[in-house]
Structure 1
Amino acid sequence: MSNGSTFPPPRRLRGTTVLVVLAAVLVAAGAGYLVLRWLRGDGGEPPRAAHPAPSGTRHEPDKKDGKGGTGDGSHDSGPGSHKGNPHGSLKGKTVVLDPGHNPRNRDHTREIARLVDIGNERKECDTTGTSTNTGYAEASFTLDVAHRARKLLERQGARVVLTQDGDHPYGPCVDERAATGNKKRADAAVSIHADGSAAGNRGFHVILPARVTAGAADTSAIVAPSRQLGERLAGRFLAVTESAPSNYIGDGTGLDVRSDLGGLNLSTVPKVFIECGNMRDPKDAAHLTDAEWRQKAARGITEGITDFLTS
């Protein structure tokens, strides 16, 4: 070749080569350092974690089972949709669900009229409960919602006990219902009901125990934790079902305090009642008789319990 070649002198070529190689090494080293930091968990951009859903989060509608309902919730995200409560978060916890009344109470009116001691007075063993104007019984509603909530809670790892599962000829009596939660040393107990007020009275409310110290009743130790449970339950029930708090009880808070319920007076574990709606109001009744809405009610109850037990 002639001296007019376009190739640079050898010395310049070697210097450029060294610089290129050095730059490549530095880039590789920098990338390796970032990867190392990510693996060690002290930097970088890790996979985005799920954050707990705020109390006002809207949930996707439940998928139907082809019959207008949601079946057992197998297609529903359940508590898993409340992202702060992963599966297994209730492992080791015991929850007692108390489906109000009994579908067969109406056939045992004499037995359920028997008076039992609730500490500060004596009241009927149980009552028949109410129904919608079309005949859908409160006792059927409460048992259905309890079954749905039980599946969701068990999916979270909880041990769930029902005070009755359609396996009693009547009742059980209100003092026996309280005793179930006490004997099982429940971490939380919820009695599920629907109200029977006048048409136009709408919405849900949660009943909290008053401070009662009389006879066999002493709620001193459970008043505060029961209020916490009730507040969590009301908040999640509102968010999931989008039902409004009662417009006739609780001054818009969705909370009511009572001292005349044996299921609360005789409880030694945190316990509340939830009246999911008014069966005698046509608009509320349309929700209560809808399987998809009942699945949402069960999910709201489940998330409220889960929030209480994991907070």
Structure 2
Amino acid sequence: MQQTPLVPHARLPRAHHHRHVRTSTVDAAGTAHWLLAEQAPQRGREHPPYDALVVSVRPDGGAEVTELRSVRARWPLLDRLPEGGFVVAAARTGRHDEARQVQVFDRLGHESRAFGIGDAIEHLLVDEAGHLWAGHFDENPLGIRRWSPTGELVWTSAGAGIPGLFDCYALNVSGTTAWACPYTDFPVVEIRPDRAARGEPPVRVWSNRIRSATALAVHGDRVVLFGGSGEHQDRLAHGVLTGTAVRRTGVGTLTGPDGSALTRRRVVSRGSRIYVQPEPFTEWGVFDLAG
């Protein structure tokens, strides 16, 4: 089976390695961000707001630091807004904090607004227009929804004709278009809300036999699905989008840059790219379908 190594993309500067990585992501421009705190959250204890650092490393290697005040999310998700601020969301909401689940921070790290978007967030990605795409997992099967940066729901998958959407396993946001591969049927789905203004269906669906992918990349009519269950967790399956189905064209394995097997990891899908951050979560690698 062919092995494809990740290409090194971004590394957390060593000066920050003593801090705990609460979460990390790669934004629409390819800049990597780490949300760092002094310590890991303590299980079973009350979780007060904490101050955090966001360390951002651009594709050219330049780095900057932003201090965020009074972050509330115990298990946070992070992305950068086009104007330079950040959004931090709690993946899980408690009984009393759902209305303040998402915090929007300005360039100076001050909270400018807060709102709720629903419990059980698997993926949170900001698009080039500054809208938030949320993909939920099965403990709160809300599907896929798009929100304005002020907390207005602007698109929902409810009634959109996506078959078997119970858990958003994989979500890719590029430009203002989203791609998904959801459980239970695992179709490849393209979502373009702008089509509705032209009287066209915003969703296209391709049936797919490649199961349980946790990330996907798309380039033209080519698609790659990464991940799976059990022994397929590092699977890299290539396919072509035909009229109504994904035709598989090959399968291999994605490895670390040195050819080693991937450990526990985070993944972020952006257009033709799949970014992978193995434990201990200090380095991002990238696979680029267009490359």
Q: Comparing both chains, which one has the higher relative contact order based on Cα–Cα distances under 8 Å and sequence gaps of 6 or more? A: 1
Common fold: TM-score over 0.5: no
Name the structure where helix makes up a greater proportion of residues.
Answer: 1
TM-score band, normalised by shorter chain: under 0.3
| TM-score normalised by L of structure 1 | 0.26
